[in-house]
């Protein structure tokens, strides 16, 4: 369960790689691009985790990430814990760094989190100070697309 929580926490702070680019008529750098990373049916002790990260970016820099995470379990205790954990973690991240909007919902055997992290609003300097291991992924006060993709792949996301 600890490994699953670490992946969830990392995705919360960062919150599979198919690229769709829109290029203007002048054939210049893409205006808007999207990369999608997914992790399906990752099993932990008593639950599974499915995650999808949609990275929206311009040029080399991330604008925002839209994340959907679903924890599935037959254990009410695990679902209770995950629901509380996700609510608390996203609230703390939002209060500390800004840029987070989220909704946590619960169904019969699932807890789902729908999260958007706006990196243009987020306090990346504070984030970098608190998470020094990601400092190489921030350039000119912006999160690098290559860095966020590398992190999601290191968590086990499949990027196509």
Question: Phi then psi for 6, rounded to 5 degrees?
Answer: -65, -40
Are 1 and 46 in contact, with CB atoms under 8 Å apart?
yes
Pick among 3.40.50.300, 3.30.750.24, 3.30.1830.10, 3.40.50.2300: CATH of 2-159: 3.30.1830.10
Assign 27 a pLDDT band (cuts: 50, 70, 90): low
Give the list of residues 6+ apart from residue 34 with CB closer than 8 angstroms, or none.
18, 19, 20, 21, 54, 55, 56, 57
Question: Phi then psi for 52, rounded to 5 degrees?
Answer: -135, 130
**What is the per-residue pLDDT across 29-85, written as a single tens digit (0 to 9) for each?**
557 899 999 999 899 999 999 999 999 999 999 999 999 999 999 999 999 999 999
Please check the confidence at residue 152 and state whether its pLDDT lies above 50: yes
- Of 92, 44, 90, nearest to 67 (Cα)? 90
Give percent of the chain above pLDDT 70: 81
pLDDT (0 to 100) of residue 31: 79
Look at residue 143 and give its three-state secondary structure: strand
Global pTM value: 0.82
Please check the confidence at residue 145 and state whether its pLDDT lies above 60: yes
Please check the confidence at residue 2 and state whether its pLDDT lies above 70: no
Question: How many whole angstroms separate alpha carbon 115 and alpha carbon 38?
Answer: 15
Assign 1 a pLDDT band (cuts: 50, 70, 90): low
**What is the per-residue pLDDT across 108-125, written as a single tens digit (0 to 9) for each?**
999 999 999 999 999 999
């Amino acid at each position: 369960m600890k490994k699953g929580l670490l992946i969830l926490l990392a995705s919360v702070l960062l919150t599979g790689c198919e690229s769709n680019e829109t290029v203007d008529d002048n054939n210049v750098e893409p205006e808007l691009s999207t990369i999608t990373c997914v992790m399906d049916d990752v099993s932990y002790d008593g639950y599974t985790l499915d995650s999808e990260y949609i990275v929206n970016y311009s040029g080399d820099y991330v604008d925002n990430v839209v994340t959907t995470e679903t924890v599935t379990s037959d254990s009410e205790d695990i679902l209770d814990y995950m629901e509380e954990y996700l609510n608390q973690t996203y609230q703390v991240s939002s209060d500390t760094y800004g840029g987070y909007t989220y909704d946590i919902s619960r169904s019969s055997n699932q807890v789902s989190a729908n999260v958007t992290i706006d990196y243009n609003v987020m306090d990346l300097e504070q984030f970098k100070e608190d998470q020094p291991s990601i400092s190489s992924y921030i350039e000119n006060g912006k999160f690098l697309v290559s860095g966020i993709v590398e992190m999601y792949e290191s968590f086990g996301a499949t990027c196509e």
